Amino acid sequence: MFSDAVHDGLLPKSPLSRRTAPKAGRQRPYVATTGQVWGIHDAMPEGLRPAVLLGAFAGLRVAEAVALRVSDVDWMRGIITPAIQYPGVELKTEESKNPIGIPQDLSLELSKNHTKWGSDTLVTNEWGRGISPHRLEHYFREARAQVAGLPEGFRFHDLRHYYASLLIAKGLDVKVVQRCLRHASAKTTLDTYGHMWPDKEESARAPVADILKERQQSLKNEGRALVIDRGRR
C-alpha cells in the first residue's frame, strides 16, 4: 500500500523502506600517552588507583577490575586470573578467564591497598569497601578532567587500548596480543588494533623489492657473460 502511494506521488517516501544510510566508518580508539595514564592514576582516590593499574597494565575491563579479588592473584608467580565481574557474577566467556602475567613491580603496587585495608577486593572506596563500576567511572571522569590532552569521551575502557599499544610496540604478534586482551578471536584484535602494528607497508614492499633486485642482478650477470663471450671470439 505504501509502495503504491509512493508510486502515485501521494508520499515522497515509504516509511517501511529498508534502505538505510551507509554505515559510518569505525573510529580508531584514542590511545593515551604514558604520562596521561600516570596523570589519571595520581588524580584518582588512593583506593581506586589499583583499578587504573589493572586497566592500563593488565587490560581488565571496568566490571572485572572492581570485582577482582585478592584470591584471583597469584602474588608469587605474578599471574592474574579473572573469574568474576561486578556484581559477583561469573565471566561470560572462557577467553575472559585466561590468566594474565604481570611483573613483580605491578604485584607490589596492587598489594598496597589490600595491605592497608585487608579487603577481599583490590579496588576499594575511601572506607576500604568495594565499589561499583558506575562509581568508579564517576571518579575516573573527575580525574580525566585534570589531565591535559585527554578527550572528553575518554573512558576507563580506553585504558585497554593503552595496554594493547604497549604490547604491540614491543613487537608481540597478534596471537599473543589476542591472548593478553582475552579476545575470542584474532579477528577482533586485528579489527581494533591492526593499524597499530608498525611497518606494515614496508614489510609488504620488501619481498617484491628483493625479487626485482635479483632480476636486475641476473640480467647484469647475463650481460657481462655475453660481453666476455664475444670478446673471446
* 156-179 confidence digits (pLDDT tens): 999 999 999 999 888 888 898 999
Residues 6+ apart with CB under 8 A from 69: 83, 84, 120, 121, 122
The better pLDDT of the pair 10, 147 is held by: 147
**Sorting pLDDT into bands at 50, 70 and 90, what band is 228?**
low
* pTM > 0.95: no
Cα separation of 135 and 87, whole Å?
13
Residue 7, pLDDT above cutoff 70: no
Q: Which CATH superfamily is domain 34-196 in?
A: Intergrase catalytic core (1.10.443.10)
Sign, CA dihedral 87-92-94-95, equals negative
Mean pLDDT (the chain) is 85
Give the cell for residue 177: 596480543
The better pLDDT of the pair 55, 193 is held by: 55
Give the cell for residue 75: 602474588
* 125-150 residue pLDDT tens: 989 899 999 999 999 999 999 999 99
Give pLDDT, residue 151.
93
Residue 12, pLDDT above cutoff 80: no
Residues 6+ apart with CB under 8 A from 45: 125, 126, 139
